Structure 1
Amino acid sequence: MTYKGIISNVKPDSIGAEIGLVPGDRLLEVNGQAVQDIIDLSFALAEEEVDLLIEHTSGEQELLTVEKDYDEDLGLEFESAVFDKIRPCTNKCVFCFIDQMPTGMRDSLYIKDDDYRLSFLYGNFITLTNLGPRDLSRITRLHLSPLYVSVHTSNGELRQKMLNNRQAGKIMTQLKDLVDNGIEVHTQVVLCPGINDGAELEKTINDLYAMHPAILSLAIVPVGLTRYRDHCYPLTSFSKVAADGVIKLVKKWQDKCREETDATFVYLADEFYLAADQEIPSYETYDNFPQLENGVGIVRSFLAEWEEQPIAGNGYNNPHYIDVVCGVSAEKIIKPLLAKLNIANLKIRLVAVDNKFFGSNVTVTGLLTGNDITAALKTLPGPRTGVIIPGVALRKGEQIFLDNTTPETIAAELGVPVRTAYFARDLKELLAAWR
């Protein structure tokens, strides 16, 4: 089978640039062997002399011999980390967020990937329902560890129903195969009220903890529900009382795990504590934040970084009026922090934006859209020097919101500069030294 790694960028002064490669060229083989992804490529490039079969944009193929230092990089970036097709998800999960997306958004937002390679490379969660013996053999041979696995429940029969896939019931056997072959795993549960919570959650925690330390961590995140659920399985959000119940159940296990292993092991997404109006756990609870990108410990990490960041400068000579944008759930965290700031001639207005795009049930900052932000800011009277938007709402590596608008769009609509704060340090620096 022929795989084609399409080059998207060639770094200046790199080996790739020296041998004349340009964006659009395709890598077909290394040392006579096809490479199916950047994992294969990294192993193939370990040699000091490599032969590259390149297909240029003209369609002409050329064999190039490269001499380099051991493990020296070619300076190439590719359109995708996989040179064949990304493995799609074949499940029909009752809680699938992509099934709750409106039409008309960019194509990439509708891709359901379930590819073990992206799990190893980028921490994407996979279900293992499309993992075969050859895949397990490759994972073991190349030691692709750790992997990130969506378990949801250790009850095989229930998992089949939740994922609507007959292959889903083998999860505990699959996890055992992985850990028996030396592969470590981070796991997650998307918790759905009345389905996999309560006694089922207790069983899942118990079964996964029994495989610790090979199972490195377990994150429990609440099901996300948008207003686009006309043809979806009926689900509800966690009420304050229900969130409190989840916290109590998990706290019991956290205490047990810390007592036995000196690690928390099972972590709750921040949304549970915010929904229950409970204090965010201590910094030490999160054990170096193994699932930060899964929404676990972001608030505590934010608070710690905020406290560490000093206020630069002596304030402003002239009045400055800055609007700080966040999601509804973040307001209770950020509001008291801003209230304590004392910067001369600075007036801060925190704007908690209701998510009209996905629906008011979606309160996290990361799912805000540019149009909702603009509409909310336009309703507010008074002077405005500038706006600080949350970087978490932008596509990773790009200045674009989920609805395809940009910070520049907001700036043009409001007629003031718009700056991006990616975390606490950025926010504090922008407030203290607006440029």
Structure 2
Amino acid sequence: MRDAWRHAPSQRRVAALALPMILSNLCVPLVALVDSAVVGHLPQADQLAAVAVGGSLYTLLSWAFGFLRMGTTGFAAQACGRADGAALRLVLLQGLVLGLAFALLLSLLALPFGSFALALMRPSAALDALTRDYFDIRLCGLPAVLAGYALIGWLLGTQNARAPLAMLLATSLINVVLDLWFVFGLGWGVPGAAWASVLAEWSGALLGLQLARRTLGRFPGRLPRAALLRWRNWRPLLAVNRDIFIRSLLLQLVFFLLTVQGTRLGDTTVAANALLLNGLLLCAHALDGLAHALEALCGHAVGGRDRLALRRALVVAGGWSLLASLGFALFFLFAGEAFVALQTDIPAVRRQALAFLPYLAALPPIAVWSYLLDGLLIGATRAREMRDAMLLAVLLALPAAWLLRELGNHGLWLAFLAFMALRGAATGLFARRLWRQGLAEQGQRAG
């Protein structure tokens, strides 16, 4: 491990991929964070709660299809490792087709899902109406979000980390400008925040298409059009995406239950929890930058059947992930009050959030291992093990949540910490078994 950590070329490769991806990923939660921060400075708590609940419902739908990014990355990285330009073109087109197809499906299911979810939460009448307005408008951005997942995954697989950064940075900056204009300048309130996010998401997706076109110029080859009509060319990608979808759905179920239980504890509690979860999203997306670097390097090593390169990438990315997680823990512990104040000036929400800051500070060192090992398994296109690890963690955490329910919001956060610890441990067990079986030689081909 010491030799791998000291290997300068591996350090440079991880840094070249991770630094742009950390910046890229920090832009992702900024859409929700900016919406919360802007609306959080309006006078009523139910407006902030509406953005929190509506954003959680939208995230549950869209992130459940995050497999479009993760599945695409592994196959694109392995094709890049083989220098197979035709396969790269096929994987890109498959990802975009799947994104648009799933966006159409979600559009048909979203409104009944939103009504069902709000019925479970039992919000106040004012919160219910505002949440529906926000959620319904955000659905207009679904096609752009899902296409963006496929584009980012493919670009990362080609080891082009700057293009996703440009996409997500453009999305975030446009969202900030439009949020301020629509909410404060035009006085549109909660609907204004939703429309700002939709327009920003479409801008990012269109930019991604142009960047993907430029990237293809580095990889000679032609799209095998006939391959699109053969089922066997879709089967590996669909199998990986199926398993990642189940894994993502289980993860979003946990966040959904967290939101449902928080809503039942009152508008102030759900708003405070949302501010803290924004901190978790910020941390998770930054740490995912290192996991994404590992995805690309792992896929490249698997495509080239290079076990030593895989070991070096894992050690270097793992070391920096641990250090970064400790940095986030210290930030939330000592600067958490400023982080909360930045998002809202409602006194009751601030007090509630500050009371639960220690739980947020404890999360990064616990959660980092599941993020990192997910990157390893995604690069090797071993999605089944990711799915099984998530299922095991959820099944073990649910009884803990039931036993802790009498502790109110403290019990909710303790159960969430237990889930993240179980998730990391289960993923580690599966990754260890695969490593012993020869992980570097276990990749699959799409197309």
TM-score bucket (shorter structure): under 0.3
User: 1 or 2 for the larger relative contact order (CA 8 Å, sep ≥6)?
Assistant: 2
Q: What's the TM-score, normalizing by structure 1?
A: 0.25
Q: What's the TM-score, normalizing by structure 2?
A: 0.24
Of Structure 1 and Structure 2, which has the larger fraction of its residues in strand? 1
Q: Which of these two proteins has the greater Rg computed from alpha carbons?
A: 1
